[in-house]
Amino acid sequence: MIPYTKSEAEKLILVLLQSYAGGAHPISLELAGAARRLAAGRGFKTAGVFIAGGRRPELSAAAEAQLRGCGLEEVYLYQDERFHPFIPELHAAALLHCIETLRPGIFLVGATPEGRCLAPSLAVPLETGVTADCTELSLDAGGLLIQTRPAFGGGLMARIVTPEARPQIATVRYGIFRGGEAAGNARLLPVETGRLLSPQTRVEEITAISTGEKEADYVLALGGGIRAREDIGIFRRMGGAMGAALMCSRSLVERGWLPQNLQIGLSGRCIAPRLLVTLGVSGSVQFMAGIQGAKKICAVNTDPDAPILRVADVPLICDLYQAAKAYGY
């Protein structure tokens, strides 16, 4: 490993490039793009850390090309068969080694189940903090990371800073930032892992869990404007005719009308469809944070001051039932 000098360390942004399906997780590539944008013109360096395991921990040609093209300047490779399946202690040991060697000022982590496990487990030995589920990242005039996230149930946006402890650790959910086009030619730097991993660690059993969820290209989202539970069937048929997945805002989950796995927002799912149609959704801070990746938004609401209408590409001020009736439902 080639560590940065002490003067360079504070101005280094390190990104966890989480291993996924033989390459890097899409959220990692989004964060690589965010790191590039933060570093641009500010004198910051960027680097990534990638942990690969399994019987063949070496990189495939496709994975190598993906990492080289992620836009970061360097990617540190921790490769060992014991890194698969995911064991938090082993991954944390590798990341702690990387952070203590490079001493980055900023460490960005995807808010996957693995990332949410690793970020706080690293913050404890490093004696720093973690800002979870950030919706915006920026640098102030002095290079301090401004970490923005909803607080108090989405009633306000909190701007959080870590003035002294390092690194400044932030987790971000998938779909909040867009990675943009792959760029650059990162140097891939293998790291010796033999002394990092305990020979006493072994896997007794592996249980695979699949959510069965697939990112939808078209989404029809229902909000608090729905007047009765039985009316959901109307819009389910409408969404089916559109080829759109039915989802909802938090209000319908709280009423018990739709399950939590269909909820959009920071306490639900972040989505990035090609087209999002919202019906009766006002657009709370929590909800808006979950749709930042949507390419086009059509919003229907009777309230002309509804926040969702201000961000919609096609804002329609009308009753959602009238809109459904106009389309034959």
pLDDT at 114: 92
Domain boundaries, the chain: 6-191, 218-326
CA triple 80-81-82, angle to 5 deg: 90
Looking at the predicted structure, is the pLDDT value of residue 208 above 60? no
pLDDT at 53: 82
Looking at the predicted structure, is the pLDDT value of residue 164 above 80? yes
Tell me the average pLDDT across 132-157: 84
Q: Which two tokens stand for residue 276?
A: 């999002």
Looking at the predicted structure, is the pLDDT value of residue 120 above 60? yes
Looking at the predicted structure, is the pLDDT value of residue 174 above 90? no
CA torsion, ordered 283, 284, 289, 295, to nearest 10 deg: 0
Is pLDDT larger for residue 267 or for residue 234? 234
> Does pTM top 0.75 for this prediction?
no
* Helix ranges (DSSP H) in the chain: 6-9, 26-39, 61-68, 88-102, 113-126, 232-242, 250-254, 285-289, 307-311, 320-326
Asked if the bond preceding 26 is cis, omega within 30° of 0, the reply is no
Q: What is the CATH code of the structural domain delimited by 6-191? A: 3.40.50.620
pLDDT at 210: 39
Quote the CA–CA distance of 47 and 92 in Å, as a whole number: 18
pLDDT at 2: 55
Which overall architecture, per CATH, does domain 218-326 show?
A: 3-Layer(aba) Sandwich (3.40)
Answer yes or no: same fold for 6-191 and 218-326.
yes
> What pLDDT, in 10s, does the model give residues 149-160?
877 655 678 899
Please tell me the number of Cα atoms within 13 Å of 158 on its side-chain side: 14
Quote the CA–CA distance of 258 and 230 in Å, as a whole number: 11
For residues 70 and 184, is the Cβ–Cβ distance under 8 A? Answer: yes
pLDDT at 282: 92
Q: Give residue 51's pLDDT band: very low, low, confident or very high (50, 70, 90).
A: very high
Looking at the predicted structure, is the pLDDT value of residue 213 above 50? no
pLDDT at 35: 94
Is pLDDT larger for residue 54 or for residue 77? 77
Tell me the average pLDDT across 86-115: 93
Chain mean pLDDT for the chain: 86
Quote the CA–CA distance of 28 and 164 in Å, as a whole number: 26
